[in-house]
Amino acid sequence: MPTSYAEAGIDVARVKEIQRRVNKTITSTHGDKTLPLLGHYAGLFKAEGKVLAMHTDGVGTKVLVAQQVGVYDTVGIDCVAMNVNDLVCIGARPLALVDYIALEKEDAGLVFELMKGLVKGAKESDAAIVGGETAIMPDVIKGVEGRTGFDLAATIVGIVDEKKLITGARMQAGDAVIGLASSGVHSNGLSLARKVLPVEEFGRQMLTPTRIYSRLMLELVEKVDVRGIAHITGGAFSKLMRIGNHAKKGFFLDDMPRPHSVFQAIQERAGIDDREMHRTFNMGVGMCIAVPREAVEDVLVSCKNHRTPAKVIGRVINQRKVLIKKKGKTIRVDK
């Protein structure tokens, strides 16, 4: 049984190096309409006086859990959520998205179930689905035995005022870090989780769709001085350095919430240490925002109004690292 994400087939350090090399390569395609914000949550470009943001993402190996359980009407929500939650990290408002469904074979019933989730997620995000593509690739897509294999991804476009971009650069040491509750595993760490937990026991829990934060986040950026937003996805809390690097700051999280039972089950059954858990899973926190201390109460009120549990989980620090206090010990999770 694997005891780390790397042993499950996902080496975060190697992935980050691949991303760094890709970013270095694609800069050759940039012109004066492209804003240099590589390594953040969405790409930016200027169009007719506006700044448009674009992002693409999928559901990952959660599609295998869906196949094993035989439930497909929620992963579309995940697909939308993974896109819009990244988009709003820079303060962008979602406008429209297109989807891509790759299938092992023709399966109209499966496609319609996937579309149910996509439509539900899009409506919750105030984004329009304006097109998409379906591909039948039996030689490429292989699924769980007895089920139709598929993959699901989408690309989203949003808009943001250049003067209102949120990059993390304005964060200051002492700013509060507020953690917004996740709904569960979301769509990250499933390569490890599904190898540790019996699908017949935890499958439906693992399929709980990713929480969509876009309406809440867009309300907050208009209401208070939001200085940094981080979506806790692949790489978990190491993702905080996507905004920390822009401010040459880091984070000390010393009041994390009690994680969902599914995370406790993963850790206990596989004997995974705390550092690995916080580098792989969201541990009950799907989004982190950095705000001045005086803005905390307003943020918590808005979160309550949107039925999203939230609490102060730490603060911004001058050290360029992500530290988490757990069981009386401080662990570093950004490396």
User: What architecture does CATH give domain 35-164?
Assistant: 2-Layer Sandwich (3.30)
Residues paired with residue 310 on neighbouring β-strands, in sequence order: 180
Q: What is the pLDDT of residue 25?
A: 63
Where does 180-327 have alpha helices with state H? 190-196, 199-206, 214-223, 241-247, 261-270, 274-280, 296-305
pLDDT of residue 5: 63
Q: Tens digits of per-residue pLDDT, 196-238?
A: 999 999 999 999 999 999 999 999 999 999 999 999 998 999 9
How far is it, in rounded angstroms, from Cα 59 to Cα 206? 12
- 35 vs 58, higher pLDDT: 58
Fold match between domain 35-164 and domain 176-332: no
Can you tell me whether residue 190 is helix, strand or coil? helix
As a whole-number percent, the residues of the chain with pLDDT over 90 amount to: 70
- Report the half-sphere exposure of 46 (CA within 13 A, side-chain side): 11
263 pLDDT higher than 70 = yes
98 pLDDT band, cuts 50/70/90, is: confident
Domain residue limits, the chain: 35-164, 176-332
By mean pLDDT, which of 37-41, 148-152, 284-288 is the weakest? 37-41
**Separation of alpha carbons 193 and 29, rounded Å:** 38
User: Quick one: average pLDDT of 308-318?
Assistant: 97
Share of the chain above pLDDT 70, in %: 88
pLDDT at 49: 63
Give yes or no for residue 35 having a pLDDT over 80.
no
Position 37 pLDDT exceeds 60? no
Given this model, what pLDDT does residue 183 score?
96
E-assigned strand segments in the chain: 34-35, 43-47, 50-58, 93-103, 128-136, 150-160, 176-181, 228-231, 250-253, 285-291, 310-317, 322-326, 329-332
**For 130, phi and psi rounded to 5 degrees?**
-110, 5
Dist. CA 176–CA 290, nearest whole Å: 6
Confidence of residue 42 (pLDDT cuts 50, 70, 90): low
Helix axes 261-270, 199-206, angle to 10 degrees: 140
φ, ψ of residue 188 to 5 degrees: the values are -135, 145
For 176-332, which CATH class? Answer: alpha beta
74 is written with which tokens? 């929620």
Nearest to residue 92, comparing CAs of 35, 140, 19, 33? 35
Tell me if 223 sits within 8 A of 289, measured CB to CB: no
Q: Is the pLDDT of residue 315 over 60?
A: yes
Is residue 113 within 8 A of residue 73, CB to CB? The reply is: yes
Q: Which two tokens stand for residue 271?
A: 């004997």
Average pLDDT, the chain: 89
Sheet holding 34-35, edge to edge: 34-35, 43-47, 50-58, 150-160, 93-103, 128-136
- Is residue 335 pLDDT above 90, yes or no? no
Question: Radius of gyration of the chain from Cα atoms?
Answer: 19
At residue 167, the pLDDT reads 92
Angle at 87 between CA 295 and CA 220, to 5 degrees: 20
Could you tell me what percentage of the chain is helix, strand and coil, using 3-state DSSP and rounding each to the nearest 5?
A: 40, 25, 35
pLDDT of residue 166: 94
pLDDT of 153 over the 60 cut: yes
**Which pLDDT score is estimated for 108?**
87
